[in-house]
Amino acid sequence: MDEQKVLSIKGLLDDTPEEYLSHKEKYENSIRKSVLFYKTLHSTEDENMSVDEKTKLNFRNIVTSAIFKDNSPFMLHNSMFIPTIMGQGTDEQREYWMKRAKNMEIIGTYAQTELGHGTFIRGLETQATYDPDTEEFVLHSPVLSSYKWWPGGLAHTANYCIVMARLYIKGKSHGIHPFMVQIRDEETHMPLPGIKLGEIGAKLGFNTVNNGFLGFENHRISRDRMLMKNAQVLKDGTFVAGSNSKLTYGTMVYVRVLIVSNMANMLAKAVTIALRYSAIRRQSQPKPDEPEPQILDYVTQQHKLFIAIASSHAFYMNAMWLWEIYYSVSLQLASGKLDNLPELHALACCLKPLSTIDATAMIEKCRLACGGHGYMLSANLAQTYGLATAAYTYEGENTVLLLQAARSLVKAWVGHVKGRPLKGTMAYLAGDSTVKAWDGSIDGIIQSFKVVAIRKISSVVKILQDYEKSGLSPEDAWNKASVFLTAASEAHGRAVLLSVYKSEMDKRAAVLSPPLRKVLLQLVDLYVTYWALEKVGDMLLYASITDKDVDELQRRYIELLAAIRPNAVGLVDAFDFRDEILNSTLGAYDGRAYERLMEEAMKSPLNAEPVNQTFHKYLKPFMRGKL
């Protein structure tokens, strides 16, 4: 894609900043841009075009991010509607629906959450009752709480959606299954008969994603609209169960893996903005006879920002590693081999929460590190926070997922104690559970994090067993111990994040130039040292760290900040975000933050006139005592 065409498209996007649009205008504007984005992507994705991969990727970034300070109403089409067809459809269903979906002949979403249930999928109330006489499913929302609520694009954009509904045959429930449902007429876009649609209202973020509600009034769909890869309903109503009922949960695992890489990207954007601004912003005068320093030279500023660079690298390395596992498990599932699915589920239930918890906190820290200008919407830090913090909740609320991971960890530990072998990412649980003497090397600290996880898992299992011995039911024991169950999952997740980051960097280090290797390994060292200091309580309890060791760690941390400082701007420039992607007055490559702040301020509709009409209508009479 030549620069001119991209810029001309960018040019079409130059309209009133989204901040000054109404809720309705924001949506309408994002549809306009999304259509432009997809039309242009499709033209760039012409098979005959020899478009360089990077340009295409860059293009995707430019137009995606330039059009959305928020996300697109098409987001669910790509990230869940299509993956569900792929993962849950039969070959025939995939053949038919993928063509229409990939060509954007139809726009879809993924409707699972209801007004009354989000976490507890087995509690979903939308009914899909099979009628063998007509070979149809009757979709019905029996009560208000059964209305689908939240799906992106559902309100006014999508004309099809995957509906996760409870299957009933001859009065018997067969659990939750995916159904392909047309919700709007393809010509008029009117909701089909028996279908109620609407928008759920303004939110903290995601305000252009068009999250909506959907209610059914005995709406009929043909039998072939149930996605039947994992379970089937025959014409006569015979139900054929899948090999594992959780296979219908497959799209969620996919998105949880996607979210880890998305957090790497979001955090990289935020720290690029904050760090570039910190390089141009000068403030205060610690040395009377010297000019005001760059705020990036304050060590406290380095402490706030450099960990965000390292964390983005860590999430990216873990995401790529997790993708490999996801793909290999997906291939195994395709051949009916299910035994690695629990580990993939447990990993996703650890890494999605930890990456969203850390990214959300660090993006907010990037905003706070930019003073008042960080509070401007034109800085695009608040919006980035709004997008990231949503991921704490969607695709499985973090607490719930950490408890899911704890299920697997408890099972693994109990099995280990009984002599059953441990495998994969839990194999280390069979290792040494004591640290005789603190080892402050990177590998030594990572080993200490593994020991912390072993000790937390074993101790929470003991708590569970003591509660059950005291007569508590397993469910009550589980609930009572749940705070420390999530802590054990977090410890396991930390150990995985650290060890994968280190091992993946080691793999790459061999092919890096010595200077680049040095800088990237400094970030690994910073990441490990930062977390050892953050979790110093656990290190004192389980890893034999002494106060002298802590003192040494603190000094090492300070030296690492100083060592990284000269390369800090280069490290964020290496994320290679164009200005259109950052969409930020503070983060532009040219460093002209003040001019951009003023340019954006002048776009405020209030600045169109020196005196606002309320002066004559209200203020003047008020100040003259006439109101």
Ligand X SMILES: Cc1cc2nc3c(=O)[nH]c(=O)nc-3n(C[C@H](O)[C@H](O)[C@H](O)COP(=O)(O)OP(=O)(O)OC[C@H]3O[C@@H](n4cnc5c(N)ncnc54)[C@H](O)[C@@H]3O)c2cc1C
Site string for ligand X, 363-392 (x = CB under 6 A): ---------------------------x--
Closer of 384 and 567 to ligand X (Cβ): 384
Bridge partners of 212?
A: 199
Q: Evaluate whether 164 touches 121 at the Cβ level (below 8 Å).
A: yes
Q: Does 120 bind ligand LCXGKVS4 (CB under 6 A)?
A: yes
> Is 152 assigned to a binding site?
yes
State the helix-helix crossing angle for 514-534 and 547-564, rounded to 10 degrees: 140
Residue partners of 223: CB distance under 8 A and separation at least 6: 130, 135, 136, 137, 233, 235
Among 9, 31, 101, 121, binds ligand LCXGKVS4 (CB under 6 A): 121
Residue entry with tokens 């087995």: 122
Closer to ligand X at the Cβ: 69 or 276? 69
> 172-182 and 239-240 as β-strands: parallel, antiparallel, unpaired?
unpaired
Q: Three-state SS across 119-161?
A: CCHHHCCCEEEEECCCCEEEEECCCHHHCEECCCCCCCCCCEE
β-bridge mates for residue 214, sequence order: 148, 197
Query: What, of ligand LCXGKVS4, ligand X, none, does residue 252 touch, CB below 5 to 8 Å by kind?
Result: ligand LCXGKVS4
Rounded to a whole number of angstroms, the minimum distance from the CB of residue 138 to ligand X is 21
C-beta of 78 vs 544, nearer to ligand LCXGKVS4: 78
Give the side-chain half-sphere CA count within 13 A for 491: 30
Strands 108-111 and 160-169: parallel
Window 224-263: contact mask with ligand LCXGKVS4 (x via CB under 6 A): ----------------------x--x--xx-x--xx--x-
Distances (CA, A) of 534 to 124, 550, 551, 614: 40, 11, 13, 53
Percent helix, strand, coil in the chain, to 5, is 60, 10, 30
CA distance 124 to 175: 9
175 lines the binding site for ligand LCXGKVS4 (CB under 6 A): no
Q: Examine the residue annotation and report whether 395 is marked as an active-site residue of this protein.
A: yes
Q: Where are the alpha helices (DSSP H) in 223-380?
A: 250-280, 299-334, 341-368, 371-374
208: which 2 tokens? Answer: 């252009």
**261 CB contacts (<8 Å, ≥6 apart)?**
315, 316, 319, 320, 323
Contact 324, 353 (CB under 8 A): no
Q: Is 254 in the site for ligand X (CB under 6 A)?
A: no
Q: How far is the CB of 196 from ligand X (least distance, A)?
A: 17
Q: Which does 533 bind (CB under 5 to 8 A by kind): ligand LCXGKVS4, ligand X, none?
A: none
89 interacts with, out of ligand X, ligand LCXGKVS4, none, CB within 5 to 8 A per kind: none
Q: Which residue has the tokens 């009916």?
A: 336
Annotated ligand binding at 444? The verdict is no
The answer to whether 400 contacts ligand LCXGKVS4 (rule: CB under 6 A) is: yes
Tell me the sheet residues that pair with 131: 136
- What is the per-residue binding string for ligand LCXGKVS4 in 374-393, x denoting contact by CB under 6 A? --------------------
CA of residue 36 relative to chain centroid, distance: 25
Asked if 149 is part of the footprint of ligand LCXGKVS4 (rule: CB under 6 A), the reply reads no
Q: How far is the CB of 112 from ligand X (least distance, A)?
A: 4
CB 178 within 8 A of CB 84: yes
Q: How many residues bind ligand LCXGKVS4 (CB under 6 A)?
A: 34
In this chain, which of 150, 249, 575, 577 binds ligand X, going by CB under 6 A?
150
Tell me the residue type at 552: E
Residue 221: both structure tokens together: 């769909």
Q: Which two tokens stand for residue 618?
A: 């209200």
- Which of the choices ligand X, ligand LCXGKVS4, none does residue 258 contact, using the CB cut-off of 5 to 8 A by kind? ligand LCXGKVS4
Q: Out of 364, 395, 504, 580, which one is annotated catalytic?
A: 395
Query: Which residue stretch of 99-107, 120-128, 302-310, 375-383 sits at the interface with ligand LCXGKVS4 (rule: CB under 6 A)?
Result: 120-128
8 A C-beta contact, residue 85 and residue 229 = no
If contact means CB under 5 to 8 A according to the sort of partner, which of ligand X, ligand LCXGKVS4, none does residue 73 touch?
none
Run of H or E including 165: strand 160-169
Contact status: 78 vs ligand X (CB under 6 A): no
| 84-97 exposure pattern, b = at least 16 Cβ within 10 A, e = fewer | bbbbbbeeebbeeb
Closest by CA position to 477, among listed 531, 413, 410, 533: 410
Q: Applying CB under 6 A, which part among 119-127, 314-322, 489-497, 549-557 lies near ligand LCXGKVS4?
A: 119-127
Does residue 145 touch ligand X according to CB under 6 A?
Answer: no
The number of beta carbons lying within 10 Å of the beta carbon of residue 436 is: 7
C-alpha distances (whole Å) from 151 to each of 88, 228, 254, 383, 543 are 18, 22, 17, 20, 45
Asked if 399 touches ligand X (CB under 6 A), the answer is yes
Q: How far is the CB of 118 from ligand X (least distance, A)?
A: 2
Interface residue with ligand LCXGKVS4 among 147, 394, 438, 527 (CB under 6 A) is 394
CA distance 80 to 164: 12
Q: Is the Cα torsion angle 154, 319, 495, 302 positive or negative in sign? A: negative
Kindly tell me which of 23 and 507 has the beta carbon lying closer to ligand X: 23
CB of 142 to ligand LCXGKVS4, least distance (A): 20
From 28-36, 146-154, 274-282, 360-368, span contacting ligand X (CB under 6 A)? 146-154
Q: Which is nearer to ligand LCXGKVS4, 116 or 237 (CB)?
A: 116
Among positions 289-348, residues that touch ligand LCXGKVS4 (CB under 6 A) are 341-342, 345
Question: What are the C-alpha distances in Å from 542 to residues 34, 452, 490, 545?
Answer: 52, 6, 15, 8
Cβ nearer to ligand LCXGKVS4, comparing 313 with 352: 352
399 makes contact, choosing from ligand X, ligand LCXGKVS4, none, with CB < 5 to 8 Å by partner type, with ligand X
Q: How far is the CB of 401 from ligand LCXGKVS4 (least distance, A)?
A: 7
Residues contacting 342, CB < 8 A, separation 6+? 408
Choose among ligand X, ligand LCXGKVS4, none what residue 561 binds, the Cβ cut-off being 5 to 8 Å by kind.
none
Contact characters 36-75, ligand LCXGKVS4, x per CB under 6 A: ----------------------------x------xx-xx
What are the catalytic residues?
395
Contacting residues toward ligand X, per CB under 6 A: 76, 110-113, 118-119, 150-152, 206, 211, 390, 393-394, 397, 399-400, 403
Contacting residues toward ligand LCXGKVS4, per CB under 6 A: 64, 71-72, 74-76, 78-80, 110, 112-113, 119-122, 152, 246, 249, 252-253, 255, 258-259, 262, 341-342, 345, 394-396, 400, 404, 407
Q: Which residues are annotated as a binding site?
A: 113, 152
Q: Which residues are annotated as a binding site for FAD?
A: 113, 152
